[in-house]
Structure 1
Amino acid sequence: MTPVHRAGIALALGAAMAGGATLLLLKWLGGSHAAPEVVFFRFLLGLPMVALLIRLRGPLVPSRVPKQQLVRAILGFAAMLAGFAAIGHMTAATYTAVVFTSPLLLAALSWPLLAEQPGRNGWLGVGAGFCGIVLIARPDLGLPSWPFLLAAASAVFEALCTVQARVIGRSDDGLTTLLWFTLVSLGLSALVLPLVWQKPTALELAGYLAVGTIANLAQILFLEALRRIPAFLVATLQYLSFVVVVLGGSLLFGETPGGADVAGAVLIIAGGLLAIRRQPDDGPRPVSHP
């Protein structure tokens, strides 16, 4: 294992821990304010963190692929908006399990969007993950509720966003991508804010500040990890967030996952691990460069 590989794993693990803490904070904030308002304050109060990172690193390098940055920022905004709208109406563990189908979707999207064959293990992992989703979507055979649909949409947008970030990482560094994401999401959420405005309390503003700071830290760690190790590996290591969320949800919200939730989550995690496992004759086979 090279030093670059070890650094990428460490960055991905740090992103997972910070991501889990962010989800717990959002669970606390998500039930009392509309999603666009949560998104707006998350980015507005996260600006000091971005400014600090720029100051520590030095002059910001302009993007070499601004159109791709805009697409990636819009996808990330859509994923966040759908996720924020869902999390206040689901248990933290169930929400995290649904959103964590994103690495499995990444396996399915890698061929049409990145021109890579995921291989047998990749497709088996996708199948196991969707079986897990079926368990979580119980108890009846009717259509899933709207929070479940929003969380699933968030997973799809996040997978597309990760594909785009992987491509962008060949040209731009993580801080440039973070700044684009922050400014685009701040502008889009500000357009909707007058329609959903509800004055936050001082305690909620403190929560938004914490979300903005920790979420930006998770983002920069995630983006820099993507520049060092494969996207599948980065995505799989994010399952550590599930452990953080389950433990935190139990301690802070008194949430105890049911048997089907646990079984579904196990299938999803197992599917993610299987999707990135490579056999000598079953690894990703590049078809062409995107």
Structure 2
Amino acid sequence: MALGAALTTAAFFCVSLVGALAKQGGTYTSTGVLLLFQNAIGLLFVVPVALRGGWVGVRTRRIGLHVLRAATGTACWYSLFFAITEIPLANATLLTYSAPLWMPLIAWAVTRQRVARPTWIGAGVGFVGVLLVLQPQSQSVGFGSLAALAGALFLATAMMSVRWLGATEPMIRVLFYYFLLSTVISIPIAVADWRPIPPQAWWWLAALGCAQLASQALIVLAYRYAPAEKVGPFIYSVIVFTALIDWVVWNHRPTLFACLGMVLVIGGGLVAVRARRSLGVRDRP
């Protein structure tokens, strides 16, 4: 359990780096280009390892779930990369990583199992935190915030698919299909959104791809050492890491409302996850 928690925390530290690197890299090139290189660099590292034992090692009977995970994961990252061009990095990350609050609804939609009342209470508390960050009463909710919320829905679905895949698929196969399919999906997006890449951007693109590869590998590895339900709450470490990076690097000090929102989103998510675990609710098809 301790190792799983440590790996999960390290994974989401890498995720916070992905957001920060994308924000900086976005000053040189387009969102579509960032998305393509994020996935293509990971694919370059994963392919030799995955094919070391031949095609048998990557043969799968769950291609549908792999496609679902890649499509929703790619959509999540595109939404987040767009959002950080419109709103502070910490706010965009908080809204996107409110994803666990949406997972009970997705689990119910897929399995039709009853969701416990404490789970809904926890999710409700978290959504109040989301409203505090959005502050719709004092300003209009812009495209950046809406993109981040859309990213949360995509991320929740991607996280559920990772759990389902983890039941039968080895780590390297999950990574292989994620980076392969995500790269294929990213190519037309990058072509439509192409912008010439200046020399100084290549360092940021390379670092972005390496951080993404590390985050994905660590997440899948963490689920090998501890159940997703137990290490799931550590996803919220990305909110803290990103808020600190946004404050130190871009001098975006979180407002009181943003801090309260973080507390409620994290607290509500922890209540929801704990309720699901104590009641033994399964979300695996």
Q: TM-score w.r.t. structure 1 length?
A: 0.88
Structure 2 residue corresponding to 1:24, chosen from 8, 20, 23: 20
Structure 1 residue corresponding to 2:178, chosen from 178, 181, 190: 181
Aligned-pair CA distance for 1:197: 1.3
In the superposition, relative to structure 1, how do residues 166 and 119 fare at CA in structure 2: closer, same or farther (>3 Å)?
same
How many residue pairs get aligned? The number is 283
Superposition pairs of residues 44-83 of structure 1, within 5 angstroms:
44-51=40-47, 54=50, 60-83=57-80
Name the residue aligned to 2:223. 226
Is this contact kept in 2: 1:69–1:177, CA < 8 A? yes
Say whether residues 1:211 and 2:228 are aligned partners.
no
Runs of 5+ in structure 2 lacking a partner? none
Superposition pairs of residues 1-290 of structure 1, within 5 angstroms:
5-51=1-47, 54=50, 60-138=57-135, 140=137, 144-278=141-275, 283-286=279-282, 290=285
Aligned-pair CA distance for 1:245: 1.1
Query: 2:230 and 2:249 mapped to 1: Cα distance?
Result: 30
Query: 2:141 and 2:232 mapped to 1: Cα distance?
Result: 25
Runs of 5+ in structure 1 lacking a partner? none
In the superposition, relative to structure 1, how do residues 123 and 250 fare at CA in structure 2: closer, same or farther (>3 Å)?
same
Aligned-pair CA distance for 1:146: 0.5
Is this contact kept in 1: 2:32–2:78, CA < 8 A? yes
In the superposition, relative to structure 1, how do residues 142 and 20 fare at CA in structure 2: closer, same or farther (>3 Å)?
closer
Q: Quick one: which amino acid aligns to residue 34 of structure 1?
A: S
1:117-151 per-position Cα deviation (integer Å, ceiling 9, x unaligned)? 44233111110111011111125366521010110
Identity of aligned residues (%): 25
1:71-125 per-position Cα deviation (integer Å, ceiling 9, x unaligned)? 2211111111111111222111111110111011112322232455442331111
When structure 1 is superposed on structure 2, of 134-143 and 144-153 the one drifting more is 134-143
SS in 2 for 1:211: helix
Query: 2:276 and 2:216 mapped to 1: Cα distance?
Result: 31
Is this contact kept in 2: 1:29–1:88, CA < 8 A? no
Superposed CA RMSD:
2.4
In the superposition, relative to structure 1, how do residues 231 and 113 fare at CA in structure 2: closer, same or farther (>3 Å)?
farther
Q: Quick one: which amino acid aligns to residue 44 of structure 1?
A: A
Is this contact kept in 2: 1:28–1:88, CA < 8 A? no
When structure 1 is superposed on structure 2, of 28-37 and 95-104 the one drifting more is 28-37
SS in 2 for 1:82: helix
Q: TM-score w.r.t. structure 2 length?
A: 0.89
Query: 1:196 and 1:67 mapped to 2: Cα distance?
Result: 27
Is this contact kept in 2: 1:31–1:89, CA < 8 A? no
Is this contact kept in 1: 2:50–2:173, CA < 8 A? no
Q: Quick one: which amino acid aligns to residue 274 of structure 2?
A: R
In the superposition, relative to structure 1, how do residues 289 and 201 fare at CA in structure 2: closer, same or farther (>3 Å)?
closer
SS in 1 for 2:86: coil
Aligned-pair CA distance for 1:220: 1.4
Query: 1:150 and 1:171 mapped to 2: Cα distance?
Result: 33
Q: Quick one: which amino acid aligns to residue 197 of structure 2?
A: P
Query: 2:187 and 2:252 mapped to 1: Cα distance?
Result: 33
Query: 1:62 and 1:279 mapped to 2: Cα distance?
Result: 33
SS in 2 for 1:113: helix
